[in-house]
A and B are shown apart, each in its own frame.
Chain A
Amino acid sequence: MKRIFVVSKTIGTFIFAVMILSACQTKLSQPTVSLARQVSYGDSKAVETVTNEFGSTDLQMIAEKMVGSLLEDPILANRPTLTLAGVRNKTSEYIDTKSIMNTIQTALVKSRKVKMTRSADEMQQGVDELQRQNQSGLYKAQGKAKIGNMTAAKYSLEGEIVSIVKQNATTKDVFYKMTLKLYDIEEGSIEWQEEKEIRKTSKK
């Protein structure tokens, strides 16, 4: 009887050791520096509904609508030159409108349907580099960028974003509308225009 007890105790210890070892095998560390999993990466293209303020999904949806509409339009048939002008933020929130325009510009440049020129914001850096190459005396003539050869934009993209906020004790409704216009710079005429509307409703 005593011998049976000892054998079963040994088997029990063995099973316990195997279980611990197998448990250790399943707990491989992942290539992260975070110990606690309080932060995780998500899908940057997922629909974000954390709050009803202006968010990443709104930015991406606006950019997609504007780019799609512009690419379809025959005004881009001959690969014209465009520049970005400002987007007025008429909402009650802080919105980085430059970020919306950068997303639009990225898609347009990658489509190879337009040539984007420096915007007014980006001009000083270009001027500085031209002056460095031409006036510093450091560079040989061959390959030097010449002053006076910049291509002027034929069209400029301008726009505005507005919002209407309504709320009662239980519900908050926000309506965003972004309008984008393509102006012929020489003529001052609007050659293309598009709007994107977004409605977001949340319960308090």
Chain B
Amino acid sequence: MTTTPPDTSQPQGPAPDSGPRVGWDDIRDLARIRRSRSDRKVAGVAGGLGRHLDIDPVILRVAFVVLTFFGGVGLLLYIALWLLLPEDGHDWAKVKLDRRSRTVALVMVGVLALLLLVSNGWWGHGAFFFVCLVVVAVAAVIATQLPNRGQPPHVQYGEAPAPGADQVTEPAETETTAAYPAAGYPPPSYAVPEQPRPVNPRKKGPILFWIAIATMAVAMGALGIVDAAGADVASSAYPATALGLSAAFLLIGAFFGRAGGIILVGLLAYAVTAGLTIADRWDLERTVARPTNAAEVQDSYRMDSGELVVDLGRLSPADLDGREITVTGDIGHLDIRVPQGINVDAHLDIDGPGGMNVFGQDEGGFGHEMDTYHYGGPDAPTMTIDAQLDIGGIDLHTEESR
């Protein structure tokens, strides 16, 4: 063996908080950033960034949490950095990129985060966010399953059975460092010497992730057989099965074994279940109310799901003068047409995710509400419209404004 014997007489390096202050050039060298192993709450991203920027990681942790409430940017950013940043003492992250590519990727992540931040939150550009989330999730799964490329083999702490874990770990660490002196890139000058990772008492027992995946495959396959045999199985039953099994394995994993990764599966299953449940219950029935005189105009129109068209376009503005009309629905599309030459004082409200088009102006979001006034012209009569929907879209327009 060419390994260097451990020199236990040397100090283990400077304390994390000591040393010179970080300069601008150091900060710009993004490839030097490492996830901290000693200062971590989740994956050491904030700890590593804080060290790189020479600021308190608590500030960054708060920023991540706050940004999560602004378009989910904090969550995405954290996951992306977790994937892209290597840990202390390593040159390869979960997504294995060389220094240059990693720098470019980090800049791109920053730009993407900025774009998301200036967009309109979780649901304002929901599809964009979910595409990003799915891409990051898939990248996470793929990256964590890829074999290590050019990375030193991970040292198994406590390989030699000995009562004192610390005494065993130090020689193993020294051997790793000495055996790969030229592999990859030199560690950053400010890198903290690799410390023995404290054993998490909650990470004991078998890894449940693959057992959960196998169980989900069996359960969903069985459901598919039942479906094929002619039973009436809703399409949302498949992801709901995955959701239920995620719950079961997480509850087991809370006390026994390691359930890492199942939360992500559960979140994806939840999103798909919600989408397919809405699709399952989407009654495509289209209801059209088209009054031709003032007496036929009702004060309120309602649907459960589907599309409700309230076409007031055949009435004269005078027929609607002073009328207050309420249009409500649960899931679907409300299409309200008003005649030209009338002022419309409208209040539109979507409780859940959805979008609205009001006299040619598009808006959307989660729990979106809008008060608007449409000017019909001089001496035009005025009507009031109150439209409420749980999930879906609302159109309010004249024939011309559409």
Q: Do A and B come from one complex?
A: no
Give the B-binding residues of A (Cβ under 8 A).
none
